[in-house]
Structure 1
Amino acid sequence: MLDPQLLRKDLDSVVKRLARRGFTFDIERFNSLESRRKSVQTETETLQASRNTLAKQIGVLKSKGEDASEILAQSQAIPARLKALEQSLGEIQAELSHLLLSVPNLPHESVPEGPDSNHNVEVRRWVPDPGPDANPKPLSFEAMDHVDVGARIGLDFDTGAKLSGSRFSFMRGPVARLHRALAQFMLDLQTSRHGYTECYTPYIVNAETLYGTGQLPKFRDDMFWVTRGGASEGEEPVKEQYLISTSEITLTSSVRDSIVVQSDLPIRLTAHTPCFRSEAGSGGQDVRGLIRQHQFDKVEMVQITHPEHSYDALESMVSHAETVLQELKLPYRVMLLCAGDMGFGATKTYDLEVWIPAQNTWREISSVSNCESFQARRMQARYRPDGGKPDFVHTLNGSGLAVGRALVAVLENYQQADGSLKIPDVLVPYMGGVTVL
């Protein structure tokens, strides 16, 4: 959520920055709410002052033995009006909060202009064996896509569809082990080399959690939710809960409604969880294969930082994701997203795109974002500076990596001419010494 004080002090600047994202801020509605808020607060302050003045007058009259009934009647009418004003102010603030919950974060000044992904900027690329066009050299044989490579080692979309419908997969045998090996390798790397604390989190959360990280109210249709009718003895009835679309939600929300000691920053957290997305609006995109599934696994990275250090943390998190791809020896490039292509809560985002031979193109495998205080303000997540008043932390999140898409990249980049699959060297220990499937 944006700082209401920033809107009140510099509305024109905020509106211009939001326009960079293609977002039109409702100035008329905001100004109307602000006018009503100021009117109510002014009347409240006037009545409070009047109440104090009348109380003193009543005291003076009584001390002199004079009649104070008229002034007393004026004083007794004030509490009812103050209560009505308090209710009115609450309604205005709720409406203002509802308005601000739908407003995205402000893009950082270093974010390039542009309405869509065509305007993203390549920062660097890592290609162990580049061709003349700086892309990876083509395979020496006709590349199969990951669906056909995976089918030989247990990747089964027909069973997934039978059990759950389209955009679900079923893995058995070697490919299931390879999928697990990738996730385990990523977790071990992020915890042992980069200092993240491994976490196990719920896969189902309440609405308050999603409001805090920005998934609600805007992205409700992108999520799966469940309604539980009954409750065990002693439990509160649960009306609606949501399957997480990323463990960013639960990891970031671990500091919700809390004040962190400054010396504990930065907090680095990671988790391997399934992620559930309805893919609303994706239509016919990537229907074939693992690229766009309703259920997929991801190793997530989250950092909770001091505001002064969040952009250094952003760069380090990008390098943490890059390390995974370098260890797997998978070609990739780093893209700085333009203002119009960033996620709702981000101020600055880098995407990592891995090379997919069968498609002869780059595909996103990680997205790393700084949200500054946008989520923290919604969550009321703060830190206490030494000798100072609590202030909002900055939150960052990124994939380290999306396991399914990493599996796609391994299946396609490590396929052999005879139809077998070479195991990346770094994964061999996780595969019990197996080097070829």
Structure 2
Amino acid sequence: MAFQMIYLKHGQHILRNVAVSFCNKVANFSSHANNAVVKKEQNTSALYVSGNKATTTFSVLSPYLDFTKHFQDIGRLEANVKLRGLDTDVRKLSSMWTELKEKESEKEKLEKERTSIAKRMKDRAKLKDKNVKEMEEFKKQGKEIREQLKSITQEIWDLEEKAVIGALQMPNVLHKSTHEYDKELFKLFERPKYDFQARSHVELGRIYQELEFIDASPTAYYLKGRLAVLELACNDYFLTNFRSHGYLLHSNPDFAKAVIVEGCGVNIDERVFALGSHESDTDSNLQYLVGGGSLQAFAAYFTKQVISNPECLPQKLITVGRHYTPPKVLDNPGLFFTGQSTAVNALVLFPSQTIGEELLLNEVLMALVQSYARLNLHFRLTQYSAQRLEPQESAAIGLEMLSPHTGEYHEVGRISLYGDFISRRLWTLSKTSASSANFLSMIHIKICHVSRLLALIMENGQKEDGSYQIPKCLTTYVDKL
């Protein structure tokens, strides 16, 4: 089903498979697949299987479920939710969680009492002179406890559907650096100025026939000629820069199961393409098209993993792959709003107890800023407000570049702090001793959203005749292709 994207260089054809048609076909029926999931009970989860479904549903994993400390500071949680612009009733959720823990404690006591009665009955049965009345009393007590256990188990299952799944849907705790408003950290280089009316990258691409949008979807496109080669050059450029900072090349899958997507805290109904499912598929078996250049693809590799050698940490990994996400804008063709793009992404895993998050963040910022500074194009670094964060993020810093045509900034890079939010859900740990392990912290770096960068290079480097200049640091990579 995939189209072939044609690259032209010196009259030669360089072919690369691009799932434009496939991506748009997924987009067309993804809403149906997502709606099918939503039409089930509202409180369903691929990540967590409640007790009443445990005998009929296979559980890939069960997240670490200790929210008692999480709910201790209700005021902080309410402020967290309010800053994010959510309407979650934290106090009600906390109350249900407390009730669930009380019910579980009550059930545990009943289990112990039942075991004690069974033992006493067994001991009495061994005696030659059995007390029939006493044995009947034991049986009566046992029957009453069984009925109580049956009732309280159902109550626990009902609470699990609301309390546990509700708690799993809570966003990450905000980092101390995250506030109510965006904070511009700094800018580099002057905004571009022209003696003529700045054109859009769509118009510039048409002049030299380097960019073509097709009718399959407003977000389906061909890159051709020099622009196609420039995409490959951007990949090589950012890969080279980050590998010089100690990042290791990693290969990721394009697909992820629902349990991984939900484990990453990603909103399945809005942020990913759902693939068609068979009626026999369970929630956890549903597949999503995320692309190898995505957080979910990285997280899948480290799910249920224990890094036994602490000397291997921090792990610094980088990949180049496709990135798929349902576009928010469908009636405005352009590389800023594509449903698919090549992406250069990186992931850093580290034990927060022994390695400082701030130190690693500074190293990541240095590598990212150095890479973009060499382009000699205007950009700014912004600490995002709570409302601009994804649920799994505790803090995020965006690297944004200006579109001279619209006067708006567009994110081309993003640094996301997660802490151990994802590792607790997907069981990513490192050993600290022979008998203990700790959950790892994560920093995800969207180094480059390539389609957006191509558009911004075209617009920022444009000339009056419709041509555009490529940054000098990329010409070396272009010439090698």
TM range (shorter): 0.7 to 0.9
TM-score by length of 2: 0.77
Q: Is it true that 1:200 corresponds to 2:200 in the alignment?
A: no
| CA apart distance, 1:400 | 0.8
Q: Paired residue for 1:265, among 304, 308, 313? A: 313
CA offsets per residue over residues 336-379 of structure 1, 9 Å max, x none?
11122222211111111113323344322112110112111221
**More deviation, 68-77/296-305:** 68-77
Hey, what does 1:297 align to over in structure 2? 342
TM-score by length of 1: 0.84
SS at match of 1:363: strand
Give the letter aligned to residue 342 of structure 1. L
CA–CA distance in structure 2, aligned partners of residues 424 and 303 of structure 1? 29
Q: Paired residue for 2:274, among 217, 221, 225? A: 225
| CA apart distance, 1:23 | 2.3
CA–CA distance in structure 2, aligned partners of residues 83 and 167 of structure 1? 54
| CA apart distance, 1:243 | 0.9
Hey, what does 1:165 align to over in structure 2? 217
Give the letter aligned to residue 227 of structure 1. G
Matches within 5 A, 1:92-241: 92-113=159-180, 119-127=181-189, 130=190, 136-157=191-212, 160-162=213-215, 164-191=216-243, 193-215=244-266, 218-227=267-276, 229=278, 240-241=286-287
CA–CA distance in structure 1, aligned partners of residues 170 and 383 of structure 2? 22
CA–CA distance in structure 2, aligned partners of residues 347 and 230 of structure 1? 37
Hey, what does 2:46 align to over in structure 1? none
User: Structure 1 pair 71/383, CA: closer, same or farther in 2 (3 Å)?
Assistant: farther
Q: Is it true that 1:427 corresponds to 2:427 in the alignment?
A: no
| CA apart distance, 1:35 | 4.7
CA–CA distance in structure 2, aligned partners of residues 429 and 371 of structure 1? 36
Hey, what does 2:136 align to over in structure 1? 70
Number of positions where the alignment pairs a residue of Structure 1 with one of Structure 2: 410
Say if 1:247 and 1:271, in contact at 8 Å, map to a contact too.
Answer: no
CA–CA distance in structure 2, aligned partners of residues 253 and 276 of structure 1? 16
| CA apart distance, 1:318 | 2.5
Q: Paired residue for 1:5, among 68, 71, 95? A: 68
* Identical positions, percent: 20
CA offsets per residue over residues 32-85 of structure 1, 9 Å max, x none?
523541342233232133234324543554447332522441464345654664
Matches within 5 A, 1:344-363: 344-363=391-410
Unaligned 5+ residue runs, structure 2?
1-62
Give the letter aligned to residue 248 of structure 2. T
Say if 1:251 and 1:270, in contact at 8 Å, map to a contact too.
Answer: no
CA–CA distance in structure 2, aligned partners of residues 271 and 230 of structure 1? 34
CA–CA distance in structure 1, aligned partners of residues 100 and 200 of structure 2? 59
**More deviation, 90-99/265-274:** 90-99
Say if 1:153 and 1:174, in contact at 8 Å, map to a contact too.
Answer: no
Give the letter aligned to residue 399 of structure 2. L
Hey, what does 2:111 align to over in structure 1? 48
CA–CA distance in structure 1, aligned partners of residues 222 and 330 of structure 2? 22
Give the letter aligned to residue 110 of structure 1. S
CA–CA distance in structure 1, aligned partners of residues 66 and 87 of structure 2? 17
Say if 2:81 and 2:88, in contact at 8 Å, map to a contact too.
Answer: yes
Give the letter aligned to residue 343 of structure 2. K
Say if 2:351 and 2:438, in contact at 8 Å, map to a contact too.
Answer: no
Hey, what does 2:425 align to over in structure 1? 378
User: Structure 1 pair 265/50, CA: closer, same or farther in 2 (3 Å)?
Assistant: same
| CA apart distance, 1:391 | 2.1
User: Structure 1 pair 268/3, CA: closer, same or farther in 2 (3 Å)?
Assistant: farther
SS at match of 2:336: coil
Say if 1:320 and 1:400, in contact at 8 Å, map to a contact too.
Answer: no
CA–CA distance in structure 1, aligned partners of residues 351 and 340 of structure 2? 34
User: Structure 1 pair 307/64, CA: closer, same or farther in 2 (3 Å)?
Assistant: farther
SS at match of 1:40: helix
Give the letter aligned to residue 419 of structure 2. E
